[in-house]
Structure 1
Amino acid sequence: MTKDQLYEELNYVNHSREKRLHYANLVLGHPELVKPLLEILFDVDDKISCRAARVFEFMCGEHLEAIIPHLDVFTQNVSRVHLDSAVRPMAKICEYLTKAYYGKTDSKIKQHLNNIHKEKIIEACFDWMISDEKIAPKAYSMNSLYLLGTEYDWIHPELAMILERDFQMQSSGFKARARHILKKINPN
């Protein structure tokens, strides 16, 4: 399948789990499609990029290690994504990566996610936290930043400051997640 054919196929992706899973499995079954999928995803002004983002998120949810050969491209470009329905899947993938990296179970992500990748994820997550994003990207970013803050000691104070500053202006979902993260940062 060519990049153009994949682009056409992405027209059939919608919010249904069935469609996202179908195309995620198609890409997992044909790893050569990941590169063109990412090229479409990071054409950030094209509405189809949102559909590519949903497929890529599902692919990572099914088999996170498939992202390993593409970590450089992903982390170099993740902060460029700006369309709402593409930002949420990107933030979710960042959360997948940080959970795998800092988790107790063994994962190849631990061997391949380097400091440059983590710094790019930190940058993207802080951007989503301070910009006018919806609750989901902010919630995924909070989790990612909390985990990254276990390694980078400057993150927790910055994250706490943002959460406390924005607390009153945000939704009940944001407040619940923020309370949870703040308790983990300051258990007293």
Structure 2
Amino acid sequence: MTTEQLYNELNYVNHSREKRTYYANLVIGNPDLISKLLEILFKVNDKISARAAWVFEFMCTDNIETIIPHLDKFTEQMHKVHLDSAVRPVAKVCELIAKAYTSKTENKIKEVLTPIHKERIIEACFDYMINDEKVAPKAYSMSTLFIFGKEYDWIYPELITILERDFSEQSAAFKARARQILKKINKNGKR
């Protein structure tokens, strides 16, 4: 399947779990499509890029290791994504990577995730926290930053500052996640 054919197929992707799962499985079954999917995802001013992001998120949720050959491209380009409907799945993939990296279960993400990958993810998550994003990307970013904060001691002070500064102006969902993250930070004795 060419990039153009995949692009046309993505017109059929909608918010339904069924469609996202179908196309995620299509991509997982044809790994050569992953780079084409990312190419479409990073056409950041095109509404179809969000649909590519949805499929990419479902693919990574199903098997995070499918991202491994594409970690460089994903982490290099993800900061360009700006459409709300594409930012949320990108933030979710960052969280999935962080969870896999710190999982007690052995996996290949632990072997291949470099400090540069982590730095790019951390930078993107802090951008989501300070930019005018919706709650979901901020929530995924909080979790990602909390996870990487166990390794990078400078993250928690920065994260605490942002959470406390923005707390009163944010939604109930933001406040609930922020309280949860602050409680975890306190529990770790990092405050």
TM-based fold match above 0.5:
yes
Cα-to-partner distance string for 1:42-76 (whole Å, 9 max, x where unaligned): 01011100000000000001111000000000000
Residues of 1 paired with 2:146 and 2:104: CA distance? 16
Q: After superposition, where does 1:37-76 map in structure 2 within 5 Å?
A: 37-76=37-76
Q: Aligned partner of 1:157: which letter?
A: P
In the alignment, residue 166 of structure 1 is paired with which amino acid? D
Q: Name the CA distance, whole Å, in 2 between partners of 1:116 and 1:164.
A: 28
Q: Could you say which residue in structure 2 is the equivalent of 1:118?
A: 118
The equivalent residue for 1:22 is 22
The alpha-carbon deviation at position 184 of structure 1 amounts to 1.2
In structure 2, runs of 5+ residues without a counterpart are none
Cα deviations across residues 100-145 of structure 1 (Å, max 9, x unaligned)? 0012111110001110000000010000000110100000000000
Structure 1: segments with no counterpart, 5+ residues: none
Residue in 2 aligned with 1:128?
A: 128
Paired with 1:157 and 1:90, the residues of 2 have a C-alpha distance of 24
Q: TM-score, normalised by structure 1?
A: 0.99
Identity rate, percent:
69
Q: Displaced runs of 4+ in structure 1, greater than 4 A?
A: none
TM-superposed CA distance for 1:185, in Å, is 1.2
Structure 1 counterpart of 2:47, which letter? K
Inter-partner Cα distance in structure 2 for 1:186 and 1:57: 31
Aligned residues: 188
Q: Deviations over 1:67-105 (max 9, x none)?
A: 000000000011110000000000000000000001211
Partner SS for 2:32? helix
Distance 1:24 1:39 in 2: 15
The DSSP-based 3-state class of the residue aligned with 1:132 is coil
TM-score for both structures, normalised by structure 2: 0.97
> Which residue number in structure 2 is paired with residue 8 of structure 1?
8
SS at match of 1:124: helix
Task: Provide the rounded CA distance (Å) in 2 between the counterparts of 1:78 and 1:3.
Answer: 19
